[in-house]
Chains A and B, each alone.
Chain A
């Protein structure tokens, strides 16, 4: 098609991450090509944006059964210190979450902050369940931010804590309502994991590290495995008829429906966790101590003095609104901007997320989103658009 997108019309994936030099492969790249994936540049890697089934079919399969995602481009790293308290305190200099209080085997979503309270990256932090690994935290960061994050973290570490990026492991996600029953056939210990917990275990005899979390809004797992064993593990999962491969295209539409942020779009170095509507990363102990970068701004915003907020947006009609689209109030004044937008397969309708001036951020507020010069009727919506279905273990 013509214009800026021409032949490889896959929008954000094709255009935003054109890397200089050759693209990197993941340990699963050969398998993606065998499966007929369309590969696109993403954060310096050649990644599958979709398989022959297509984005909508892959999206729906993940909601109905189980989707398998290669997320090996993401950064995996260990933060290693003499004991948990020392390592956790080192990380707490850069994040606003309670890491010291993280219990063994538990995982927490957090953000790396700059001095202005902006978000350098969002990340997952996991404390090992094994007492032998006391003092080790496992981090998973965004592919596009790996280099920046590692520099920031290293610059802030005391002498007795070091960052060890993991370069020889793949990361795959199995997401969907049937993920647990499939996983249990290969790694029975996975069934015992609660949402946002993790453990090392064997998958058909392959050592791996499994967390019960993901980026789809569904129950599921993220599995870290040695690069050399990744293809065998993935092939074992794909041999199950309940599991199909899912590309970055559906990963994006799934997380958008689930109301989850995409770094560089919905959050960035200018947005704070309060503005980004992820203030749950601020635990009480840290708010009271006010000892994290940008604390003055963030705590002021937390107290109500915030000028803009990330919200969900539902559009009338069928036309999607994309990143960058202006949002106007009923008087025609600019009151916001779209940061992510597209078609929601589960709802059969266009949805978006964006930043709104606080006075217009209340669900139900009527607005117009400007698309190709026309104002499309839209309403501020509650997030998530599609109910998250994480697994919560019954209290015993």
Chain B
């Protein structure tokens, strides 16, 4: 499994031409208790850097940006119904969206796990 990370604490896991996107454990720990998640519609075309989702904790709202270009093919309604899942299992069951990649080479710009860990340690 090829997992990449952004400086903004999203993870992207690629399987064939479909990528699953979520937020990292560091991101959920910084957010605190998540109380609201808004996801895009299936079929929405995202360009790298577009707002892909909104996640709100008790105190603040944050945006989740698309780390790559792609079309939304599936969203995780379970985290809309139960936002607290994002705190419990951010890198597993609480994924946000799946997108069909339109430019897989963009993945090369993202960090691998070692680089991401160093990024977080430096914060």
Tell me the A residues contacting B by CB distance below 8 Å: 1-3, 5-14, 49-50, 54-56, 249, 252-253, 318-320, 322, 342-343, 345, 350, 372
Contact = CB atoms under 8 A, between A and B. Distances in A.
13 contacts: A1-B27, A1-B31, A5-B60, A5-B62, A10-B30, A10-B59, A11-B60, A252-B59, A253-B58, A318-B83, A342-B58, A343-B36, A343-B56
Residue from B56, B60, B61 whose CB has the most chain A CB atoms within 10 Å: B60
Interface of B: 6, 8-9, 23, 27, 30-33, 35-36, 38, 54-65, 83, 87, 123
A318 B116 CA distance: 32
Nearest to B35: A343
Contacts of A5: 60-62
Q: Which of B8, B30, B54, B55 has the largest number of chain A CB atoms within 10 A? A: B30
B33 to A, nearest CB: 4
Contact of B57 (A6, A9, A318): A9
B58 A345 contact: yes
A320 B61 contact: yes
A320 B59 CA distance: 9
Contacts of A322: 60-61
B52 to A, nearest CB: 10
Contacts of A253: 58
B11 to A, nearest CB: 12
Contacts of A50: 32
Given A2-B64, A2-B65, A55-B32, A13 B123 contact: no
Contacts of A10: 30, 32, 57, 59-60
Contact of B59 (A3, A6, A11, A319): A11
Contacts of A350: 35-36
Contact of B62 (A2, A56, A318, A319): A2
Contacts of A13: 59
Contacts of B36: 318-320, 343, 350
Contacts of A12: 59-60
Nearest to A250: B58
Contact of B30 (A9, A252, A319, A345): A9
B9 A318 contact: no
B35 A320 contact: yes
A340 to B, nearest CB: 11
Given A1-B9, A2-B64, A55 B30 contact: no
Nearest to B65: A2
A239 to B, nearest CB: 26
Contact of A1 (B8, B59, B83): B8
A266 B60 CA distance: 17
B32 A1 contact: no
Given A10-B30, A55-B58, A350-B36, 5 more contacts: A11-B59, A318-B35, A318-B36, A343-B35, A372-B38
A252 B58 CA distance: 10
A318 B81 CA distance: 9
Contacts of A3: 62-63, 65
Contacts of A6: 8
